[in-house]
Structure 1
Amino acid sequence: MGSLTNLLLPAVLFFALGFVARVIKSDLRFPPDLAKVLSIYLLMAIGLHGGYELAKADIMTAVNSIVWALVLGFTLPIIGYIALVLTRKVNPMDAAAISAHYGSVSAGTFLTAIAYLDSAGVSYETYPLIMLAVMESPAIIVGLLLAAKARMSLAARDDVVAAGDGTTAMSADDGNENDAHSMAALLRDAFTNGSVVVLIGSMIIGAISTPSGMEKLFPFIDDIFMGVLCLFLFDMGMVAARRIGDFRKVGLVLAAFGVLMPLLGGVVGAYVGFAILDFSVGGATLVAVLGASASYIAVPPAMRLAVPEANPSFYLTLSLGITFPFNVLVGIPLYHSLVQSMAMSG
């Protein structure tokens, strides 16, 4: 019944409607900037909520949540990168860009999980909201570092070839200096990404605002929240249907990665949430969803800008065309059932 309940959520049904609208070649289109506005609103709303709850939270639990959010954010993309490289079907630059998506988080998937738990009457802690804000940047940083490492390896190989041909190669000092400048710029971009700024900035505002001031905002960030989420997922359904056409370009190996990696991340997240952070079933389910989700808002533009050598059809098709629908339709109830099993066995 849990899976059926998830399928019948209005937000999920609007995702399906958008998908079908694209498949039947409807002329329905969202205004170009509307998706950005909806994304900013959703990030701002969850950031304000996270900050408001953080101000009331137990400081040690909050710190532990942040620490484990960083652990997940830095570790999962490295696991994904190693797995992709070992397949020998993906070059290091594509592997770096793809893995960054799977260490970061999907706000849309997380919000759908909240709607799923709310519809099932399952309570949850608010600490995963803090983890959501924290986990955006680490994976981007890891992806950029892995790409830089791959780029340096390719440059070193080219230098060896050039030297063998008698061509003048750039000095090692010049290369190291350029790499240092590039790395500093990449790190700055990772920390100043728009999604990260909105999410963390809203969380800070929610944490330092007066309770009376926040109460006046609740109609804006609560009452219309689900309606905005439906619009957002409606648009995402159309985008996912457009990307699913690139499936043949991705190949069976990458398609399998798009399902197996979220399953692995979900299991790791469930264990961290339930066994380490000692969250309730609802809270641990949200951590599992964080571990399982793949970013399609913050990471793609960062990779497109900083890793132009990577193929966008690979990471966009995987994150938005395969992993996002899988998590929304199958993964969320599956992770919830996994945490329930852990609770029963514990």
Structure 2
Amino acid sequence: MSAFSNLLIPAVLFFALGFVARLIKSDLRFPPDLAKILSIYLLVSIGLHGGVELAKADLGEAVAAVVWALLLGLLLPIIGFGLLLATRRVGPLDAAAIAAHYGSVSAGTFLTAIAFLGSQGIEYERYPLIMLAIMESPAIVVGLLLASWSRGRIAKTAPERGTPRADHGNGHLGDILREAFTNGSVVLLIGSMLIGAIANPKAMESLHPFTTDIFMGMLCLFLLEMGLEAGRRFADFRRVGWALVTFGLAMPLIGGAIGVLVGDLMLGFSVGGTTLVGVLGASASYIAVPPAMRLAVPEANPSFYLTLSLGVTFPFNVVVGIPIYHQLAQMLAGGA
């Protein structure tokens, strides 16, 4: 029963409220610029918080965890993108936006896993907390790279007066990289993380109300707006629902297994620490990545990535996934 109660958090319920409001054709609407303001706030707040956590760590000891966090954040979206394209049910831009969510992390799922370990008296290393902060950005960058590559492919094959468009130039990869790393979402997230890491700790304390006290309230408003948007485009999800639901259940198992292997074999963590790395690999972001994709890939359908991350993968991980990743960690530790 406690597992299901983890779904009854205000952020998830506000997403459900927006979704239902649109389905019943309520006149509830957000001012056009408010969603962008909320997106900017969330990215800045997450970046600052991650930078503060990074500053607290002993980077000499944490370097392996940081490297593997980066690798997971880069690898998992590529796996997800390939699987989504293989379904032939969503376009490449939707696949890129969805894949970015599955390379990033869910703080809610991570905190639930910590509560799970605490309830059983299982200790864990602090380095997965650093990995949590690190894994937000790489997946967003990869998602933007995949989206930019997809736009290029679409442009080349789109008919223009009955003929395919020509390839407009060399250095296309360089253009894609520049677009990804100069994208406003990435600049905000990475820049805020650097500020949080190098700023005077006492000065950062004055931002505590901004980064912590009002964060959940702002997240609730953002997810309310995203619920409205997802409800508006829900018919698209129903059209390809079976394929996406299958992905939303299979991808966390794939990512969780990879995370457990990294935690045990590559980082040498305890069962508790390995479980948390597995959870990081398995979770799908519904906080950092949605505002980034909303700003940078407006062509992508929010009902796809939000319904998957919040409506499929999050409850699956909370109810079923976390015990599975813990069991895998125990099996690896027992075989060591």
TM range (shorter): 0.7 to 0.9
Displacement of 1:206 in angstroms is 0.6
Of 240, 254, 265 in structure 2, the residue corresponding to residue 264 of structure 1 is: 254
Q: Which ranges of structure 1 fall in alignment gaps of 5 or more residues?
A: 305-310
Contact 2:44–2:189 (CA under 8 A) maintained in structure 1: yes
1:157-197 CA distances to partner (integer Å, 9 max, x unpaired)?
A: x9xx98xxxx9x97xxxx4xx33244333221111122111
Of 124, 129, 152 in structure 2, the residue corresponding to residue 126 of structure 1 is: 129
Displacement of 1:199 in angstroms is 0.9
CA distance in 2, matches of 1:7, 1:300: 24
Contact 1:285–1:335 (CA under 8 A) maintained in structure 2: no
Contact 1:43–1:198 (CA under 8 A) maintained in structure 2: yes
CA distance in 2, matches of 1:251, 1:114: 26
Displacement of 1:209 in angstroms is 0.7
Percent of pairs with identical residues: 41
1:121–1:66 Cα change, 3 Å: closer
Task: Give the stretch that moved more between structures: 320-329 or 138-147.
Answer: 138-147
Displacement of 1:254 in angstroms is 4.6
Task: Give the stretch that moved more between structures: 201-210 or 294-303.
Answer: 294-303
CA distance in 1, matches of 2:106, 2:115: 14
1:239–1:149 Cα change, 3 Å: closer
Give the aligned partner of residue 113 of structure 1. 109
Give the aligned partner of residue 194 of structure 1. 184
Displacement of 1:82 in angstroms is 3.6
Give the aligned partner of residue 247 of structure 1. 237
Give the aligned partner of residue 334 of structure 1. 320
Contact 2:97–2:305 (CA under 8 A) maintained in structure 1: yes
1:86-117 CA distances to partner (integer Å, 9 max, x unpaired)?
A: 44x358xx33x244224423799724335645
1:6-33 CA distances to partner (integer Å, 9 max, x unpaired)?
A: 2222222222222222222222222222
Give the aligned partner of residue 284 of structure 1. 277
Displacement of 1:62 in angstroms is 4.0
CA distance in 1, matches of 2:185, 2:38: 12
1:2–1:180 Cα change, 3 Å: farther
CA distance in 1, matches of 2:79, 2:214: 38
CA distance in 2, matches of 1:256, 1:180: 38
Contact 1:243–1:317 (CA under 8 A) maintained in structure 2: yes
CA distance in 2, matches of 1:20, 1:28: 11
Q: What amino acid is aligned across from residue 184 of structure 1 in structure 2?
A: G
SS at 1:126 equivalent = helix
Q: Which ranges of structure 2 fall in alignment gaps of 5 or more residues?
A: 119-123
CA distance in 2, matches of 1:267, 1:132: 19
Displacement of 1:35 in angstroms is 1.9
Displacement of 1:258 in angstroms is 4.4
Of 285, 307, 312 in structure 2, the residue corresponding to residue 321 of structure 1 is: 307
Q: What amino acid is aligned across from residue 213 of structure 2 in structure 1?
A: D
Displacement of 1:79 in angstroms is 2.6
Task: Give the stretch that moved more between structures: 293-302 or 206-215.
Answer: 293-302
Give the aligned partner of residue 97 of structure 2. 101
Of 299, 302, 310 in structure 1, the residue corresponding to residue 293 of structure 2 is: 299
**TM-score (normalised: structure 1):** 0.75
Task: Give the stretch that moved more between structures: 116-125 or 321-330.
Answer: 116-125
Q: What amino acid is aligned across from residue 221 of structure 2 in structure 1?
A: L
Aligned length: 317
CA distance in 2, matches of 1:42, 1:264: 28
CA distance in 2, matches of 1:8, 1:193: 34
Contact 2:104–2:137 (CA under 8 A) maintained in structure 1: no
Give the aligned partner of residue 225 of structure 1. 215
Displacement of 1:150 in angstroms is 7.5
Contact 1:11–1:226 (CA under 8 A) maintained in structure 2: yes
Give the aligned partner of residue 10 of structure 1. 10
Contact 1:259–1:322 (CA under 8 A) maintained in structure 2: no
1:138–1:45 Cα change, 3 Å: same
CA distance in 2, matches of 1:115, 1:27: 35
Displacement of 1:210 in angstroms is 0.8
Tell me, yes or no, if structure 1 residue 212 matches structure 2 residue 202: yes
1:258–1:35 Cα change, 3 Å: same
Question: Cα RMSD over matched residues?
Answer: 3.6
Give the aligned partner of residue 308 of structure 1. none
CA distance in 2, matches of 1:120, 1:265: 19
